[in-house]
Structures are given as structure tokens and as C-alpha cells.
Amino acid sequence: MSERLVVNPIDCKAHGACAELLPEMITLDEWGYPIVDPRPVPPSLERDARKAVNACPTLALRRLRTDDR
Amino acid sequence: MTAATAGAFHDGASRAAAPSDLPRLLPPVQGGKRPQDLAAHLARHGDLPYRDRIGTPASPGALIGVIEQSGLTGRGGAAFPVHRKLNAVLEAADRRRRTPVVIANGAESEPASDKDATLLWLAPHLVLDGLQLAAEALGADTAILVTHADRKHDVAGRVRQALQERLSLRLDRVPVQLAVAPARFLSGQETALVNHLGGGPSIPTFMPPRITERGLNGNPTLVQNVETLAHLALIARRGPRWFREVGTAAEPGSMLATIRRADGQPRISEVPLGQPLRYLLGDPQQTTPESAVLVGGYHGTWLPAAQAAGLTLDNRALERVGARVGAGIVISLPPDRCGLVETARVVRYLALESAGQCGPCLNGLPRIAAALVELATGRPRPQTVEDLQRWSGLVTGRGACHHPDGTARFVRSALVTFAAEADRHARGRCSAASTAPFLPIPAAAAQTEDDWT
């Protein structure tokens, strides 16, 4: 079961923890807001992705199962 | 400037090549400026169909199937297939054992558009028929019609009067509530509308869940533009084949367009999808290489007038040049105005109308607006255009709603269409003879949180 990452842009307050924990998939724009790779999370990054989701102070970063949409 | 003063105006339709029964939604030309009362409405269109003797709709699926065959799409701008939304609400209601809500969206928060107010003013009963039919088809117990707060004509009063007429004939089985959306650009956006009706501010919320799944008070909710519901009411009576007699095979039917030419006054014309844009534009004799046309409103696309004259009003044609029909706004920029100045004015308004919830929109739109002022007033830095391109890319697809996407589309199209004018500005010149504002913008920006409720 593959999953992807989505940001709730209303909840996101640009803390930037996600980009530090998962730089392979998340970069920050010039205002500090995350730009998330829309592709499914590869198995090798699943651990880090989970860490990034858990580290988000505003719970804006979420994991979605790819078949959700 | 709205509804009755502009009145119905049908020259676009009458010049169409195909024989047609347009206008379908608005009253015929002769009586065009007089609202249709219930007697006139029923005389013209006949009784409400899809009802059996004991007072329930024949079967929920029947109307939805007919709508699917008709190919009707939403006329609020997104052109989403209507039957798919109906089915989504019906399916969610069955699965979750909840009673659906149906909302007629007449918020028309796009300042350049005047077609929904005109329709509600001239033919409120057709919209109310469609609202009723949709509500019955879904088994809804709540129907709400939302109008815009800030029109010169009392559209809400007109609808209230129409509801009184219907009450005396006991026409409506699902009671209809009236609501008014605040005069903000985003208040017609579906989730903002549901948020507002639920007692919150008129600002968008994050999806999922979609409102067809979980909308007003947690119930599956259908939001359809008022014009869409008016078409639905006619398709229910006259059938999908009749609906497809005008329009294109891929995009059937007609639509209400708001057309503005040099005088700036809105004219509402009901045109078939696929109508050549040159029928809607101003005199081609007055077209200069700088002439431009705005298609689709303030989330729409600037096109050179010469290019627009070769296009038709349907998404298949317009998407090839990066444009969309949207809510049917077609504006000819007068030759004495500067497209960059007009774009800068509108984008400043759009930046102010951001709900300010999402970082990229909150940060990007004001920067884009400020850079456009540099471009418009002729003091651009060398990197101004590059900044605009980068920021437009950065905000796209990163909001809870499509406000940043639409604004970026508008800005990018201006940079292309007015590229020669931008070069002129960089050399300290401007080709415009007049600095009088042309594109309509509401006078008051939001000052406090109360302005969003």
C-alpha cells in the first residue's frame, strides 16, 4: 500500500520541521512554506515520512493512502 | 449597472448561424426588462415535471439519468458535470444515512459578472424550479438560495417575492431559505459558502472531505450555480435532446455571458457554447495590435484581440490557448486603456481579497501585486518580470482554494499579452490615452473580520 504526503495549507504555519526531516521530498519556498513532492512515498523513505508527519507542530502534514483519491 | 438597467441583450444569440430557440432562460427580447411573474413563467415553461400523484418525485435516479444524457455542466465557472455531483451526493447520503442539503449559488462574487443577478431578477422561478427538482431528486429536506450582498437591485427581495407567489400555489415541497453572501471575492466558493451558512466566516476550508460528502452541518451537500439549476429545470421539462440542439457535441447547451465593451456596461447575452467570440467582441475595425480581450473574468486569461477573434466560447477551443470559459465573462479592453495598469488594479484587489489563510497566497499575492504596480507605473526593476513569473509558479496549486491559481493564470496571461507594452513601460512610455479605471472593482476592501461574515 503506497501513500503520499499532503499539506493542509490553512493549518501550515511554516515551522519547517518537515523539510528538515524529509529533505528528499520536501523543500521550502522563499517564505518558508513546504513544497511537497506529490508522488507516492518510496518505501525507503517511509520511516522519515512518518517522522516528518509526527513532527509537524500544527498537524498540517498528513499521510494519505494513494487510493484515497 | 446590474440586472434590470442592463437588461437582457441578445444580439450575440440572434447572430448565431444555427436556428435556435435562444434565449431559453431569460424572457424573450420584447419583455426583456420585465421580471417574469409566476403566471408568465408557467405559461411559457409549463408545470414542474418529475412528480407523481402522491407528491414524491417519480424516482431519484430518473432525473439524474436525464441530466447525464444532456451533458449539462456547472455554469459557475468550473464546468463540472452536474450528474456526477448529483450522484456523489445521493451516494453519500445513502451510505451515511444522512439527508442531503441543496444550495443554489447566486453569490456571484466575481465583480465583472452580472449574469446570475440578471437571471435571478428576470427569471427567478426557473432557478427556484431547478432548486426544487434537484432537492426532490436527492430527497433533500433543506434548500437554500444564496444571493450577493452588494447589488444595486434588490435581488433577494425579488426572489422573496417569487417564493411568496409559489407559496400561494403550494408549488414547493422542500421549503426554500434565502441567505445573502458577503460581498467578498471568495464568498461564492463552495466551501466558503457552506462555511458561511454554517455560521462561520465566508472563507474557504480545506478538502477533503468534499462537501458532497460532508457539507452543511455535516450533511452531503449539493452546491450548484443558479444558472445551472435553471438549465436543469428546462432539461427536466424538455429533455436532453432539446438541450443538445444548441452548443457543441462536447459542450452542449447555452450559457449566459456577461459582455463588456468600450462603454464598460455589462450586457447579458445567452449564447450557445461554441459561439464565435468575434460576435461578442467590439467593432473589429477599431482593433489595434495592442487590443486585448479578457476571457473568464479575474481568474481568467488575457488574449490578444486578433487571436480571440478566431476562437469560440467553449473550453475545448479556449484550453488550447490556456484560457477557459469560466462563468462566461468576455471583456474587450478599450484601445485607450493600458492592460498592465488594469491588471495591476485588479490583482491588488485580488490580493486584498485573499482570505490570508494559506502561506503561499498570503505571501505571494501582495508581492505579485506590488511588482505589477512597478510594471504598470513604468519603474520596473530588471528582475520584475522574472519575479512575477517565479511567484506565479510558487503560489499555483498550493492553496486550500483556487484563488492563488486563478490569480496566477490572470497575471501570466497579462505578461504574455502585454509584453510589448511592458517593454514600452521600461522605456518610460505607455500607449494608453486614458487613465480612467475600466475593469469593475468593488469600492470597499475588507477592513475587519465582520466584513467576512
Q: What domains, with CATH codes, occur in chain B?
A: 31-243 (3.40.50.11540), 339-437 (1.20.1440.230)
Q: Roughly what angle, to the nearest 10 degrees, separates helices B384-395 and B403-417?
A: 150
Q: DSSP assignment of B121-190, as one string?
A: HH-HHHHHHHHHHHHHHHT-SEEEEEEES--SS-HHHHHHHHHHHHHHTT--SS-EEEEEE-S-GGGGSH
Q: What pLDDT, in 10s, does the model give residues B327-340?
A: 999 999 998 999 99
- The alpha carbon of residue B147 is apart from the nearest alpha carbon of chain A, in Å, by 27
Highest mean pLDDT pick, B25-39, B143-157, B357-371, B432-446 = B357-371
Cα A34 from Cα A26, distance rounded (Å): 6
Cβ contacts below 8 Å, chain A against chain B, sum to: 36
- Compute the distance between CA of residue B35 and CA of residue B425 in angstroms, rounded to an integer: 48
| Chain B partners within 8 Å of A11 (Cβ) | 206
Residues 6+ apart with CB under 8 A from B451: B182, B184, B444
Tell me what the mean pLDDT of segment B23-46 comes to.
82
d(C-alpha B259, C-alpha B266), whole Å: 6
Cell representation of residue B381: 526593476
- Write down the pLDDT at residue B13: 41
pTM: 0.92
Residues in chain A closer than 8 A to B398 (CB atoms):
9, 33, 35
Bigger pLDDT: B314 vs B435: B314
Q: Are strands A61-65 and A3-7 parallel, antiparallel or unpaired?
A: antiparallel
Please report, rounded to a whole number, the percentage of residues in chain B having pLDDT higher than 90.
77
- CATH number of domain containing A34: 3.30.70.20
Written as tens digits, the pLDDT of chain A (69 aa) is 689 999 999 999 999 999 999 999 999 999 999 999 999 999 999 999 999 999 999 999 999 886 644
B308-to-A63, B77, B313, B323 alpha-carbon distances in Å = 44, 19, 10, 10
Per-residue confidence (pLDDT) for residue B289, from 0 to 100: 74
Q: How many CB atoms lie within 10 A of CB A11?
A: 17
Average pLDDT along chain B = 90
**ipTM > 0.85 for the complex:** yes
pLDDT, greater one: B18 or B243: B243
Provide mean pLDDT across the span B348-360: 96
Do B206 and A14 make contact, defined as CB atoms within 8 angstroms? no
Query: Are the beta carbons of B360 and A9 separated by less than 8 Å?
Result: yes
Which residues constitute the domain of residue A12?
Answer: 3-68
Cα end-to-end distance, chain B, whole Å: 25
Coil, helix or strand at residue A12: coil
Q: Is the pLDDT of residue B434 over 60?
A: yes
Residue B8 near residue B27 (C-beta atoms within 8 A)? yes
Nearest to A10 among B208, B358, B364 (CB): B358
Measured in angstroms, the CA of A27 and the nearest CA of chain B are apart by 12
**Average of per-residue pLDDT across B231-247:** 96
For residue A9, the distance in angstroms to the closest alpha carbon of chain B comes to: 5
Taking residues B69-85, report their average pLDDT: 97
B404 close to A (CB below 8 A): no
Q: What is the pLDDT confidence band of residue B143, given thresholds at 50, 70 and 90?
A: very high
Across B80-89, B236-245, B443-452, least confident range: B443-452
Specify the number of domains making up chain A: 1
Interface with A, mutate which of B191, B398, B402 (most A CBs under 10 A):
B398
